[in-house]
A and B are shown apart, each in its own frame.
Chain A
């Protein structure tokens, strides 16, 4: 039960561009999920043909019994990348809305509030795109090289930004609790 003497928190809405980013991200997640189902066959066919056109990249040997396992794994991961984009874009959209609301409400100093909101928005919106990028890179660069590119271009910088912002916000909230 909240003590009567404590002032209730007045929740503040994050800046509209932040909310728009989150909503667009969720829209992309839903559109991506629907497209995966609608164009599953076309996407698989495209990825398979792109891989067959680059046998050296995927280590294809021209032996059916060996190559089919390689192609199967790459296609499963290609599909997993699309699914993980759908999942993370939905989740991170909600994380952006929830966490920037907390930051807008509890981070009283603009010096910390603004960077936290910026990091959460940019990091949260960028991170899921790494999965889309990874899927797109698999047919051209293979599983591991595609993953490395997606890691250094997207997952590590954007995921890192989100994690830093969340720790920063957690510290601020803990500090606020301590002072009260």
Chain B
């Protein structure tokens, strides 16, 4: 065998060394989404006393309080009252408003940060992708509730999200991210507005 043939053989033999098992990561719930699921499943099971306890002692309520300035007035008190009254539809609506607000605030923040001209193309795309992941984590929880009330809003958010994800993954200018992010924020703002108790007279 020639030396070059032997070298090729060795390289072919060593090729598997370029692949290593480094484990897999499956994103998990954070404390807010976990608490949301606790409340939601308790409500679905008709255990409103359990749901109320999860709400009163859980991080979701603490987060609602911390973000009170950017949430519709009375959202927390209304949710607490709905749980105490055993009103499942109202609980779902208020939780939907809360998570829509979380997603909207993230979309606004993402829009601002991806507009920073001092950041490189890759850095802006990476920031956009991370924000989109966080937005979807929250919006995904209430998309069904949104679609039940207003399927156009649900479709609009999904389309804008897909468009933004395309910009974040692709080679196109990350400046393109801003428009769909702004659309997500705008559509969710309208949803929150139209679902607030004051507008509904509840």
Binds B, one of A1-9, A42-50, A155-163: A155-163
What is the CA–CA distance of A159 and B13 in the complex, to the nearest angstrom? 11
The bracket for how many chain A residues form the interface is 20 to 34
Query: What secondary structure prevails in chain B residues at the interface with A?
Result: helix
Is A164 close to B, CB under 8 A? yes
Report yes or no: A155 in contact with B20, Cβ–Cβ below 8 A. Answer: yes
Residues from chain A with a CB closer than 8 A to the CB of B27 are 69, 72-73
- Binary interface encoding of chain A residues 140-163 relative to chain B, with 1 for a CB under 8 A from any of its CBs, else 0: 000000010001000110011011
Contact residues of A between 56 and 88, Cβ < 8 Å to B: 59, 61, 63, 65-66, 68-70, 72-73, 76-77, 80-81, 83-84
What is the CA–CA distance of A147 and B21 in the complex, to the nearest angstrom? 11
Is A11 close to B, CB under 8 A? no
Number of A-B contacts (CB under 8 A): 70
- Binary interface encoding of chain B residues 91-133 relative to chain A, with 1 for a CB under 8 A from any of its CBs, else 0: 0000000000010001001000100000000000011001101
What is the CA–CA distance of A68 and B130 in the complex, to the nearest angstrom? 11
- Binary interface encoding of chain B residues 126-142 relative to chain A, with 1 for a CB under 8 A from any of its CBs, else 0: 11001101100110000
Report yes or no: B14 in contact with A59, Cβ–Cβ below 8 A. Answer: no
Is A93 close to B, CB under 8 A? no
Report yes or no: A59 in contact with B20, Cβ–Cβ below 8 A. Answer: no
What is the CA–CA distance of A61 and B113 in the complex, to the nearest angstrom? 9
Contacts A59-B126, A84-B23 given; indicate if A69 touches B13 (C-beta within 8 A). Answer: no
Report yes or no: B23 in contact with A69, Cβ–Cβ below 8 A. Answer: no
**Which one of A66, A147, A156, A164 lies within 8 Å of B131 (CB-CB)?**
A66
**A3 to nearest B CB, angstroms?**
34
Report yes or no: A66 in contact with B106, Cβ–Cβ below 8 A. Answer: yes
Query: What secondary structure prevails in chain A residues at the interface with B?
Result: helix
Residues from chain A with a CB closer than 8 A to the CB of B30 are 65, 68-69
A151 closest partner in B (C-beta): B20
Report yes or no: A65 in contact with B23, Cβ–Cβ below 8 A. Answer: no
A83 closest partner in B (C-beta): B23
Report yes or no: A160 in contact with B14, Cβ–Cβ below 8 A. Answer: yes
Is A130 close to B, CB under 8 A? yes
Report yes or no: A130 in contact with B23, Cβ–Cβ below 8 A. Answer: no
What is the CA–CA distance of A151 and B102 in the complex, to the nearest angstrom? 40
Is B22 close to A, CB under 8 A? yes
Report yes or no: B13 in contact with A84, Cβ–Cβ below 8 A. Answer: no
Q: 8 closest pairs, A vs B, by CB?
A: A80-B23, A159-B17, A160-B14, A160-B17, A65-B134, A167-B13, A66-B134, A73-B25
Q: Could you show 18 A-B contacts with beta carbons less than 8 Å apart? A: A63-B106, A63-B134, A65-B30, A65-B138, A66-B106, A66-B130, A66-B133, A69-B27, A70-B130, A73-B25, A73-B27, A77-B22, A83-B23, A84-B22, A130-B20, A155-B20, A156-B18, A164-B10
Q: Could you list 16 further interchain pairs (A-B, Cβ under 8 angstroms) beyond the known A80-B22, A163-B16? A: A61-B127, A63-B109, A63-B134, A66-B106, A66-B130, A68-B30, A69-B137, A73-B25, A77-B23, A80-B23, A83-B23, A159-B17, A159-B20, A160-B14, A163-B13, A163-B17
Chain A residues near B (Cβ < 8 Å) = 59, 61, 63, 65-66, 68-70, 72-73, 76-77, 80-81, 83-84, 130, 134, 147, 151, 155-156, 159-160, 162-164, 167
Chain B residues near A (Cβ < 8 Å) = 10, 13-14, 16-18, 20-23, 25, 27-28, 30, 102, 106, 109, 113, 126-127, 130-131, 133-134, 137-138
